[in-house]
Chain A
Amino acid sequence: MSAPRTAIRVDGATLLVRTIGYGFIGAFALVCLLPFLLVVGTSFTSESSIARHGFNLWPRVFSTFAYKIVFENPDLIIGSYWVTIGITVVGTAIGLFIVAMTGYALQRPDFHYRNQISFFIYFTTLFTGGLVPYFLLINQYLALKDNYLAVLLPGLLSPFLIIMMKSFVRSIPHAITESAKIDGAGDFTIFLRLILPMTTPALATIGLFIAIGYWNEWYNAMLFLSPDMKYRTLQLFLYGVVTSADFVKNSAAASNVDLRDLPLESMKMATAVVATGPVILLYPFVQRFFIKGITVGAVKG
């Protein structure tokens, strides 16, 4: 948050910008919200109503049937939640640390090898060996089949985030590092004690991205975690719920129900709500880290 303002006159242009700001952002936020409300509303609508009238914001015929089916195996879905949360938390913590550390090192102008290493990392975004070698690597050489690490490890780092971090850290003047070095501090200590606390917005951003990446992760789980595992990731579980017609057809909740009411569409919506719900709450929590970094007033002259 900015320092308390002195009495500066708010001029016309500023007012204009603010009005446009509130208007545009407000409208856009609304546009973002509405389809989501559509999803939520439809998830609570009876299937026959959906068949007749399509999706709607407000359920014409209210029904929690879809949720009953999704939560039918509470053990499985809770297990999936925990697995996903665990992977997300651990992965984000480790990944964020490594990204920050690497990003800092790479922006140090006195780091002789920074350009080469940057290119080394960046190059991996251009060329990829493809699915078969990747599958062989994880499945055979690293022997991570049916192992949560198969989902955790590949998602730890991404060149994009490292380069982003590099860019963020660069805005902290090198003078800080230099003066700390003069005081005798080592590179790592400087990073840990001095720089890291200054980059909270960057850390928050990157941490958020990593976390969301893990939360949405589906492909690696699909490839490497077989049904032999009791609990798999949330997205994979929910995908299975949606595509497995038998699941619905033969669930106890559905056995005495008019087939017109079998919650197929509403179930797809319900799984989306179930998957997204917790993450929505994550952002407000992270938002508080988006404070202006400690200014460089600390090092003047």
Chain B
Amino acid sequence: MNKVKKLSAIVPVLTLAAGLAACSGGNGKEASPSAGEKSAEATKASASASASSSQAAGAADTSKFVKISYVILGDKPKNGQFDAALAEINKIMKQKINAELEWKWVEWADWQTKYNLLLASGDPVDLITIGTDWLDTWGNAQRGAFMNIDDLLPKYAPVTWSSIPQEDWAESKYKGKIVLIPENAYTQWVNHGFFYRGDWAKEAGITEPVKDWDGIEQYLQYIKDNKKNVIPWDATAAVSTFGGWVNSYTKELELPISTGWLPVFTTKSVDDPYTVVSPIFDEDTMLNYATKMKSWADKGFWREDVLNYKGDTRTLLKGGMTGLDQHHTQTFGTLRVDMDREQPGSELQMYPFARTNGNLLELSITHGGTSVGAHSKNPERALMAYDLIRNDEQIYRLLNYGIEGIQYEIKDGKRVLPAGYDPKKNEFYSDFWGGRNDKLEIPSSTVWDQLPTTLYAEYDKIKHPYPYGQFVFDKTPVDAELTAISQVTGEMGPSIAFGKAGDPAKAVEAFKTKLKAAGYDKVKAELQKQLDAYKQQMQG
């Protein structure tokens, strides 16, 4: 009642709306769309370490038994299946390196607070999941959260060390020291797009794969006119599509910095990735977007009160109560299988935003990875454990798939569900996103098997290499401005994105004014400055 909370009231107690993030993989949670990466400038210097995989694992001292903790994001499964698999893993671990793994779950409830608190409080974690675009890895590196592992890697994680090429190690450095092991050998596409139903698209007269937002508009209009009781796109305001629009209609690239709800800064193009521009200020991109979204709102494609709606679009899609969803390719892989089961014949399709203009970048290899905590007491053994997790086939399978015979069986080179599989009793996930490995991956029957031949093939044709792997933006000179900008995008972004901001032109003008007041120019200048230096580093 009148009690004053002892804790800072700022830290939100419930962050249900804070982008639920994560890569897919076992339990299908999605990655945060904004490619925000905290970075500081990487100074050159990294000498080429010998890539030879010499060294003996026996050189390490394993006489003392230790427990290695690995921090993972997710809710711990309650059915004991993960614990069973972990026990098996630990048998092997004990035998090989006299250590055991402890899986430390940071649950989704207020995960951002807990993850950062763990690091801030100097907790002696050994290994921890990282992600430069959603877990503020560079920011945390700058704050001293991780241990430098340059010298430890070749000795204690030799297989990993030699399997990762030097240019990839170069992208894992903060101020010249390696602070993370990237998940670089795992095929993932987390580029975003719209998911739409193939069957309804055919009815609407759309015979070819949708290739732009007008196609989507046609699709949604059809649903509005012909499907009773179906809201064409029953979206929630947690979805931010401006980045997608920029991707579809310009050649601009998104930068690895976070400006909150939508991207404010981009670079010109693949040919000129060092010149900072803004899709909000420099052309009509935002104005066009706002106008289009307003028209969609007026047409009734989503609820009137979309900004406060708290439903789950994906579940509604599976229940046939809406026709559109938005997320990335990885999610699509599993969703397609779900939809084939729940809505047979729906033939879910994906329109990736990058398709319109061929504006597709490869995924940053540091989207997933593992770091060693700065206060770890057993970094050597931790790295040895990691080496096994990443490269030992038996452990890899146990960790990612579960126990053979219970969670999966192998048929024709694919994983299938065994006969007695009970979803509740046998469901398994480990949320390991810190070092998956294509070499050891076994495709699963729960992921759409035509993914490689359709979307992946398309991507391979148009993709460009990721130009910002070694770019770490040091935001300390403009931290306050960035925070203020994040506030502005969070405040006004959703209404513009869902056409609830009145006259689009006026709304965009007001938005621009507020951004300027928040320090847009200062941040742009700083960004350009650091990119110029980066250009020097890359080309000079």
Contact = CB atoms under 8 A, between A and B. Distances in A.
A64 interface: no
A161 to B, nearest CB: 8
Contact of A247 (B78, B312, B316, B342): B78
B6 A134 contact: yes
A164 B121 CA distance: 35
Nearest to B110: A222
A240 B6 CA distance: 24
B6 A223 contact: no
Contacts of A128: 6-8
B315 A154 contact: no
Interface string B302-318: 00000000001001101
Given A131-B8, A223-B117, A264-B312, A250 B109 contact: no
Contacts of A51: 316, 319, 321
Given A222-B110, A244-B108, A259-B319, A125 B78 contact: no
A72, A132, A140 — most chain B CB neighbours (10 Å) = A132
Interface string A125-156: 11010111011100110000000000000100
Contacts of A52: 229
Interface string B68-98: 0000000111100000000000000000000
Nearest to B27: A246
Interface residues of B, number: 44
B538 interface: no
B422 interface: yes
Contact of B319 (A126, A218, A258): A258
Nearest to A48: B319
Interface string B102-124: 00110111100110010011110
A255 interface: yes
Nearest to B427: A250
A288 B108 CA distance: 42
B457 interface: no
B207 interface: no
Given A223-B114, A252-B422, A252-B423, A130 B312 contact: no
Closest 3 A-B residue pairs measured CB to CB? Answer: A252-B424, A227-B76, A260-B319
Interface of B: 1-4, 6-8, 11, 13, 16, 27-28, 75-78, 104-105, 107-110, 113-114, 117, 120-123, 229, 312, 315-316, 318-321, 342, 422-425, 427, 429
6 contacts: A51-B319, A135-B117, A160-B3, A223-B113, A245-B312, A246-B429
Given A128-B8, A130-B8, A250-B423, 11 more contacts: A72-B424, A130-B7, A139-B121, A140-B123, A160-B2, A218-B13, A219-B7, A222-B114, A227-B105, A243-B16, A247-B75
